[in-house]
Amino acid sequence: MSARTDSTITKEQMLTCPGVMPAPRNQWYVAALSSEVSRKVMTRQILDDHVVFFRTEDGTAVALADRCPHRGVPLSMGTVQGNGIRCAYHGFEFGKAGICTHIPSQTTIVDQLAVRSYPLFEVGSYIWIWMGLPAERDDSLLPDMYALGLTRPGYKVTPLFVMEIGCNFQMLHENLLDTSHITFLHPGMIDGGNMAKASFNTSYKNGRVTISRDVTETPTAMMARTFHLKHADNRPVKRTLVTDAIPPHLSVITNIFTYPDEPDAPEHILINPQGVTPSGKNRCFNFMVVSSSYQDEQPPDAIPHIQKLVEQDKVVLEAVQRRFDEEGWDLPEISVRADAAALNFRKKMAALVEEERRRLAPKALQSA
């Protein structure tokens, strides 16, 4: 049982294992929370590319390849100057389109002195990035922001945090879609103890996977605080939990609570559109924003509580990734019925990758 390297598995095998799933490039992904991008440079690796982010004087977010074309210094070691960025090493400056605008030691500027500029789209606490060829930018591939709860009147959007996890992004997707683990990995934290056994409906429409469960449960104290429920005592609530997995970039988790003993109380809705974004090899980001149908502030301990929850997932996901890395991608998984949704999602992701491969085969996937 010896370690095997990537090169020993074929492209076809990669599409069947969540630890080595490739990411389609001609797509939008969540790149950052709005609050992370400012007049100070910020760098992040997305789909293996190092990308530097900053805002221009009018607040527009900019994303450039994080590599000065002159001598290869990360531009993120430099500083924002006006609407552009200055390299720390020799002071070359680049504008928001990535074109060099200033060389201290000479007045003429060669055309090749330019870096790739990535299209961005900012709405409702999220900044989305287009990772494909700029010429192939397709805004119709952006998700429906209303459905995500990010542009819904009367809803309050609270950006929570970004978690970097040391596993392939497909593994995070499958973790989010698989609600049967909640009862065991997060005992008492976000369910009343019966989620693993609850019946569920699955649908596979419109290129996405949707699972929903209807349960009546008695919230634990922690669960009541996390979801900001009216009932912090022992009275049962009716809960509809819907997970909507949208390849390649989102897992939208919606919780709808109603109160059997207060039939006139409004539905209590939380939409949690989680961005799932590949980073470098075997790493991904989990972006976390919550949109709620009520205007109250989140209880002060809800955010650290959710962070702790994601950290529990992170520990398990990273352990699995390390083991597969060490013992080989061809080790089998034995699935059960509750895995059907995740396996179907895996096929949908693989199909997206395959479709892009066929379509882009004769072209370069990356611009200079």
Whose Cβ is closer to a second copy: residue 257's or residue 324's?
324
Beta strand segments in the chain, E: 28-33, 42-46, 49-55, 61-65, 79-81, 84-86, 93-94, 100-102, 120-123, 126-130, 156-165, 201-203, 209-217, 237-246, 250-258, 268-278, 284-292
Task: Assign 3-class secondary structure to 245-282.
Answer: EECCCEEEEEEEEECCCCCCCCCEEEEEEEEEEECCCC
CB of 341 to a second copy, least distance (A): 12
The token pair at 135 is 């010429």
Whose Cβ is closer to a second copy: residue 100's or residue 120's?
100
The residues in 190-229 that bind a second copy, with binding defined as CB under 8 A, are 196-197
The 10 Å Cβ neighbour count of residue 255 is 19
Query: DSSP characters for 323-334?
Result: HHHHH-TT----
Is residue 48 close enough to count as binding a second copy by CB under 8 A?
yes
CB of 280 to a second copy, least distance (A): 9
CB of 100 to a second copy, least distance (A): 9
Whose Cβ is closer to a second copy: residue 110's or residue 232's?
110
**60 SS3 class:** coil
Tell which one of 10, 12, 57, 112 touches a second copy (CB under 8 A).
112
CB of 207 to a second copy, least distance (A): 24
**304 SS3 class:** helix
CB of 85 to a second copy, least distance (A): 13
CA distance 285 to 127: 13
Tell which one of 60, 82, 185, 260 touches a second copy (CB under 8 A).
185
In this structure, are residues 94 and 105 in contact, taking their beta carbons and an 8 Å threshold? no
Whose Cβ is closer to a second copy: residue 151's or residue 212's?
212
Nearest to 36 by CA among 289, 356, 280: 289
CB of 248 to a second copy, least distance (A): 18
The residues in 60-89 that bind a second copy, with binding defined as CB under 8 A, are 67, 69-74, 77, 86-89
Whose Cβ is closer to a second copy: residue 181's or residue 225's?
181
CB of 93 to a second copy, least distance (A): 11
Whose Cβ is closer to a second copy: residue 43's or residue 258's?
43
Is residue 103 close enough to count as binding a second copy by CB under 8 A?
yes
CB of 48 to a second copy, least distance (A): 6
**Angle at 12 (CA atoms; ends 9, 16), nearest 5 degrees:** 90
x/- contact string, 313-342, with a second copy (CB under 8 A)?
--xx--xx--xx--x---xxxxxxxx----
In this structure, are residues 212 and 241 in contact, taking their beta carbons and an 8 Å threshold? yes
Whose Cβ is closer to a second copy: residue 318's or residue 354's?
318
In this structure, are residues 253 and 243 in contact, taking their beta carbons and an 8 Å threshold? yes
Is residue 188 close enough to count as binding a second copy by CB under 8 A?
no
Q: Judged by CB under 8 A, how many residues of this single chain contact a second copy?
A: 50
Is residue 364 close enough to count as binding a second copy by CB under 8 A?
no
* Main-chain dihedrals φ then ψ at residue 27, nearest 5 degrees: -150, 165
CB of 167 to a second copy, least distance (A): 11
Cα 6 to Cα 128, 240, 318, distances in angstroms: 29, 41, 18
Beta bridge partners of 277: 285
Residues near a second copy (CB under 8 A) are 1-2, 48-50, 67, 69-74, 77, 86-91, 103-106, 110, 112-113, 178, 180-181, 183-185, 196-197, 315-316, 319-320, 323-324, 327, 331-338, 366
